[in-house]
Amino acid sequence: MTTPDSPLSPPSIGVDVGGTKIATGVLIGDELHARHVQPTPETGWEAVLDAVAAQVQALRAQHPQVTRVGVGVPGPLAEGRTRVKFAPNIYGFTDVPLVQGLEDRLGLRVVLENDAKAAALAEAHLGAARGTASSVYVTVSTGIGSGIVLGGRVWRGHHGIAGELGHVTVMPGGPVSGAGLDGALEAVASGTAIARDASYALNREVSTAEAFALAQSGHPAAGRVVSQALRHIGVALADLQKFLDPEVFVIGGGVAKVGDFFFAGIQAAADEYAGPFAPVTLRRAQLGTDAGVIGAALAARLEGL
Amino acid sequence: MTTPDSPLSPPSIGVDVGGTKIATGVLIGDELHARHVQPTPETGWEAVLDAVAAQVQALRAQHPQVTRVGVGVPGPLAEGRTRVKFAPNIYGFTDVPLVQGLEDRLGLRVVLENDAKAAALAEAHLGAARGTASSVYVTVSTGIGSGIVLGGRVWRGHHGIAGELGHVTVMPGGPVSGAGLDGALEAVASGTAIARDASYALNREVSTAEAFALAQSGHPAAGRVVSQALRHIGVALADLQKFLDPEVFVIGGGVAKVGDFFFAGIQAAADEYAGPFAPVTLRRAQLGTDAGVIGAALAARLEGL
Amino acid sequence: MTTPDSPLSPPSIGVDVGGTKIATGVLIGDELHARHVQPTPETGWEAVLDAVAAQVQALRAQHPQVTRVGVGVPGPLAEGRTRVKFAPNIYGFTDVPLVQGLEDRLGLRVVLENDAKAAALAEAHLGAARGTASSVYVTVSTGIGSGIVLGGRVWRGHHGIAGELGHVTVMPGGPVSGAGLDGALEAVASGTAIARDASYALNREVSTAEAFALAQSGHPAAGRVVSQALRHIGVALADLQKFLDPEVFVIGGGVAKVGDFFFAGIQAAADEYAGPFAPVTLRRAQLGTDAGVIGAALAARLEGL
Amino acid sequence: MTTPDSPLSPPSIGVDVGGTKIATGVLIGDELHARHVQPTPETGWEAVLDAVAAQVQALRAQHPQVTRVGVGVPGPLAEGRTRVKFAPNIYGFTDVPLVQGLEDRLGLRVVLENDAKAAALAEAHLGAARGTASSVYVTVSTGIGSGIVLGGRVWRGHHGIAGELGHVTVMPGGPVSGAGLDGALEAVASGTAIARDASYALNREVSTAEAFALAQSGHPAAGRVVSQALRHIGVALADLQKFLDPEVFVIGGGVAKVGDFFFAGIQAAADEYAGPFAPVTLRRAQLGTDAGVIGAALAARLEGL
């Protein structure tokens, strides 16, 4: 693995473009410097690129030696990771030629990365999976996604879809996902699925957080909703352990903030279905909201190495 | 079976108390006379009983020979079918001593029946299952319920819960019902479940009706939601055929109004899982909104026979 | 319910024709008298009928007042219960005009019954379900079958298939039954299924009895095989409780002889899936190998009453 | 990927040790030379090593320039791939210090590989997945196993268990595997599972081959057994496509010899559950029984490169 403080670790700028804010920073060795957050413009993608470019130039005024720029975006990429197909949470972000647009504005090489893969990279190099040769970062929030890091690099797969953990089939005949498949993991175990199922079971609007709170306080129906969801996640991770055998799983995302109760539920099912093969090692994500910026910066750092 | 036009068919008054309206009528032989509908009072159960009593007295002014009164209510009953435990859709209807309250007001013998069982009785004697020795009436609406009629009488079971078809387990690990059980039929295949799952799959509010419309027009995700639901219903009915072997299933309820597409989906799955044992015969409910009044009147007619 | 010692309880002869032996007796009131067992002839059905007739005549020599004869056979019946379609365990027993054949030989009215239904009747009137208004007798042996008794009488259903509990679907996509259906209860939970799955899991021939012995002694894989099977049975019984709501389930058959461990496993799953509706009451069959003779005699006694 | 005819492709000797025979050969560039097959000694592992060493020396007499030796064995490895834990099909092969034992006998460096991983390597470099950057070799025979090849190298995972595809969970509550897990892929879809389930469904001993023959000729129960098994495999491969996104799956093993019918069944389910993500590309293994020798030779060739 390329370690971040080796001579092969040039400093780089990371940009995490989200639906409400743009976070930026400079990654020097293992440290993120000059963290900065600004609102995401809501007047179209060109305005977003303008804002990103202005902030990158401001950072370069302080760190002129930094020539690498990485950008993370919450959506699927296309054309050799030069375009964003769409980012549903960012206003006007459909079919955006992001790399070309920023390189024109900056005169620098720009590297684009999906935000979950960026977070996976950040946790693998500088977070909960630091020092491992293989890790899978799993984010459980409104959906379920993952990023696979092997030998320090993101594993993308042949069609670039590797990591679509939310869409593996865990209960044939079960709820149908946005992708039209029945029984997909995120359709039965994401935060949205938990809120949906708890709302149905309790016959009133129940948020994911409330579902967990009720489950922890012993509410039978909410408890069953939550335990089924965690069980499905745990069985899925045990399956990945047996198939890919990563060193660790790093679990992040909004739902993971529930903490011990959440992790214990997943671990129990994972242990049960790991069987005699190998233990499933779960770790909590460490980098929090910085993961996106750090991961984007790492993507830029690793490009071409 | 006691046929409705036998000498054993005294005329009776039927009352169907719903959340928004109270329907009444007089059943003479096979014919419902003097249909009447009024709004359900929303000031508590005593007002509801007053309104029912007033209307029954008005009917008796026209039909003084009628001394039997049956009342159907959408909720579970208690104490030998003399009390209503609760009727969630009727304001203030919790622990209502309905039989005593009406008998005091009317000076007549009153028979209380659950509304789904009343509808089952109506369809068995005068509707889609007329002439059969056994039938199961299945209602697919916001929930899924059923009423079993054997030899012309409602089968109640030892604890009075017979017919809780919505709560049989069809997909262990699946969505949790209001009763706290995972994978119950109504949690995967009721109108509410279809709307819930279609809304999730399409990531916007989708009604049951729209889910069916989309499925019929070829929308893949909506189609999968609906076909899974119909399949679960069909498999459940095939199981009941093999276990109880009724002559027919009568299918009613709001969702059944979808028509051919709905019935074809259920029939296909039922045929597949009936196997070599016996065919599953589905019929559409015939009595529509009159089923409740007719069934309540039949409940009164059959009492003591 | 017709109680056995009422004036409506005429004495009758019961015959239980099995694959290896024919058992007979005279039921007077609640008591079985003159039990007799002889080998089943293996030279064709006419020889079997000759042997049955000879033994019935011997019983009538002692009990000349008895004119009713009931015969139980392990197979499906046809033509108004006058013929046996086939009895796979009895040599040459295919399409046997049993009632005609015996009535010709005896000059008495003969009543034919399926052996599981006969046992259900026996347990309902004189065994574990005595005094109940409704019961389901479940036999777990090489297959899984059941007999439903409502109001003291066998419930046969419209096509005569009622009670095919072994063929209800409990795990879609699971093992295929002899009837060609995937995930049928007996394909996942019968004695044969348990032996089959334990043999697979342990990679050697394991009998049903050994599978239970291993499970009880803590063998993980055998334990999982057995607990899954018992769980499937328990969930199925909970479903029947919610749908038919019988007063009790009587469990018999060779596998039930395992005893406490077997019943506890079923009860736990039944309790879990009964939810808030009504408890599932399990009782052990009491009549053992006499159930068939007693039930056949009861079938004759009840005929025409 | 290291291509086999590059200057980085030194010739090597491959040895495939099976339960009944030992196959050997010399891999020069893309070509396997001097194929040789002899019976596997049945007098203990030392005799097996003697036989292997003698044959390797015979090959080296003809090809003295070859100094690399790779050995494939059907069982799990230990201690940095220097020992065989056990090989259930080879007499006496438990805890065998294979590398040390052969290096002592030969005075050459010996590389040990699991036979499924060797076959995966062979198909990836010189067989059905030649020219791909990533492939998963799946063998469907008495069990189900797989080997993952990424960038021309076997992916082993952190604990060395990567590729245990037969043990991923596809039907919770289903048949229990030898590893004690319910619903594992090989417990529901391997050749052994198909024969077991077909034998149960048909109530007689049915081989895997006969099950397929019956299924192809339209036998309903056998057809359902086989189609369920193929469906489970197809869904599992679609899940791996979404998670790991390999360029191709290469399918081999005894069951795959069924041909078109087998592949069509898997492809249909894989297509259904691939959804909109990426197609699942299935290819038939090309190297047949040579895969083991070629893969062992490749393992030796690649070692240290």
Q: Order of strands across the sheet with C153-155?
A: C153-155, C144-150, C134-140, C248-252, C282-284
- pLDDT tens sequence across C42-75: 999 999 999 999 999 999 999 999 999 999 999 8
Using a CB–CB cutoff of 8 Å, tell me whether C276 touches chain A: no
* CB C283, CB C250: distance < 8 Å: yes
Using a CB–CB cutoff of 8 Å, tell me whether C64 touches chain A: no
pLDDT at position B113: 96
Q: Order of strands across the sheet with A31-39?
A: A31-39, A21-28, A12-17, A69-73, A110-114
Using a CB–CB cutoff of 8 Å, tell me whether C235 touches chain B: yes
Q: Which residues of D touch A146 (CB under 8 A)?
A: 243
Please give the span between the terminal C-alpha atoms of chain B, in angstroms, as a whole number.
11
Class of domain A130-285 as given by CATH:
alpha beta
Nearest CA in chain C to A224: C272
For helices D115-126 and D291-302, give the axis angle rounded to 10 degrees.
80
Nearest CA in chain A to B221: A180
Q: State how far the Cα of C80 lies from the Cα of C304, in Å rounded to an integer.
A: 14
Residue keyed to tokens 């209800």: C168
Q: Is B305 exposed, middle or buried (0-12, 13-18, 19+ CB in 10 A)?
A: exposed
- Asked if B156 lies within 8 A of C273 by C-beta distance, the reply is no
Q: State how far the Cα of D299 lies from the Cα of D68, in Å rounded to an integer.
A: 9
- pLDDT tens sequence across D54-86: 999 999 999 999 999 999 999 889 888 999 998
Q: State how far the Cα of C93 lies from the Cα of C244, in Å rounded to an integer.
A: 34
C-alpha distances out from residue B195 to B141, B189, B205, Å: 11, 10, 8
Residue keyed to tokens 């009153």: B110
For residues D290-305, average pLDDT: 92
Evaluate whether the domain defined by C128-285 bears CATH number 3.30.420.40.
yes
Query: Which pair of structure tokens corresponds to residue A81?
Result: 């990771």
For residues A87-102, average pLDDT: 92
Separate counts of helices (H) and strands (E) for chain A: 9, 13
* CB A235, CB A242: distance < 8 Å: no
Q: Which residues of A touch B174 (CB under 8 A)?
A: 171, 173-174, 228
Q: Which residues of A touch D232 (CB under 8 A)?
A: none
A300: nearest Cα among A150, A108, A131: A108
Nearest CA in chain C to A220: C275
pLDDT at position A111: 97
Banded model confidence at residue A6, pLDDT cuts 50, 70, 90 = low
* CB C203, CB C221: distance < 8 Å: no
- pLDDT tens sequence across D204-215: 999 999 999 999
- C282 in helix, strand or coil? strand
Using a CB–CB cutoff of 8 Å, tell me whether A278 touches chain D: yes
C40: nearest Cα among C28, C32, C48, C30: C48
Q: Quick check: B90 pLDDT over 60?
A: yes
Q: Which residues of C touch B162 (CB under 8 A)?
A: 243-245
To the nearest 10°, the Cα dihedral for D86, D87, D90, D92? 0
Q: State how far the Cα of B231 lies from the Cα of D166, in Å rounded to an integer.
A: 29
**Least confident piece of the model among A169-173, B42-46, C60-64, D86-90:** D86-90
CB burial string B205-231: b at 16+ within 10 A, e below = ebebebbbbbbbeebbbbbbbbbbbbb
Using a CB–CB cutoff of 8 Å, tell me whether B201 touches chain A: yes
- pLDDT tens sequence across D232-271: 999 999 999 999 999 999 999 999 999 999 999 999 999 9
- A16 in helix, strand or coil? strand
Query: Which pair of structure tokens corresponds to residue B288?
Result: 């529509």
Q: Quick check: B305 pLDDT over 90?
A: no
CATH H-level, domain D131-285: superfamily:
ATPase, nucleotide binding domain (3.30.420.40)
Banded model confidence at residue C5, pLDDT cuts 50, 70, 90 = very low
Contacting subunits of C (3+ beta carbon pairs below 8 A): A, B, D
Using a CB–CB cutoff of 8 Å, tell me whether A157 touches chain D: yes
User: How many contacts, defined by CB atoms under 8 Å, are there between B and D?
Assistant: 3
- pLDDT tens sequence across D9-20: 899 999 999 989
* CB A276, CB A241: distance < 8 Å: no
Backbone dihedral region for residue A251 (phi beyond 0: left; psi -120 to 50: alpha; all else: beta): beta
Q: State how far the Cα of C142 lies from the Cα of C187, in Å rounded to an integer.
A: 10
Please give the span between the terminal C-alpha atoms of chain A, in angstroms, as a whole number.
11
For residues B243-259, average pLDDT: 96
Chain centre to alpha carbon of residue A99:
20
| C154 vs A304, higher pLDDT | C154
Identical fold for domains C12-119+289-302 and C128-285, yes or no, is: yes
Q: Quick check: C222 pLDDT over 90?
A: yes
A233: Cβ–Cβ under 8 A, 6 or more apart, which residues? A138, A140, A144, A185, A189, A266, A269
Banded model confidence at residue C258, pLDDT cuts 50, 70, 90 = very high
Residue A6, Cβ neighbours under 10 Å: how many?
A: 10
The CATH code of the domain at D12-119+289-302 is 3.30.420.40
Banded model confidence at residue C9, pLDDT cuts 50, 70, 90 = confident
- pLDDT tens sequence across A117-142: 999 999 999 999 999 999 999 999 99
Task: Give domain limits for chain B.
Answer: 12-119+289-302, 130-285
Using a CB–CB cutoff of 8 Å, tell me whether A180 touches chain B: yes
Percent of chain D at pLDDT > 90 equals: 90
For residues D167-195, average pLDDT: 95
Distance (Å) from the C-alpha of residue C169 to the closest C-alpha of chain D? 13
HSE on the CB side for D243, CA within 13 Å? Answer: 26
Q: How do D94-96 and D144-150 pair as beta strands?
A: unpaired
Using a CB–CB cutoff of 8 Å, tell me whether B183 touches chain C: no
Q: Which residues of D touch A129 (CB under 8 A)?
A: none
Arithmetic mean of pLDDT over chain B? 94
Contacting subunits of B (3+ beta carbon pairs below 8 A): A, C, D
Q: Quick check: D8 pLDDT over 90?
A: no
| C117 vs D5, higher pLDDT | C117
Banded model confidence at residue B1, pLDDT cuts 50, 70, 90 = very low
pLDDT at position C282: 98
pLDDT at position B52: 97
- pLDDT tens sequence across B125-139: 999 999 999 999 999
Q: State how far the Cα of D13 lies from the Cα of D23, in Å rounded to an integer.
A: 11
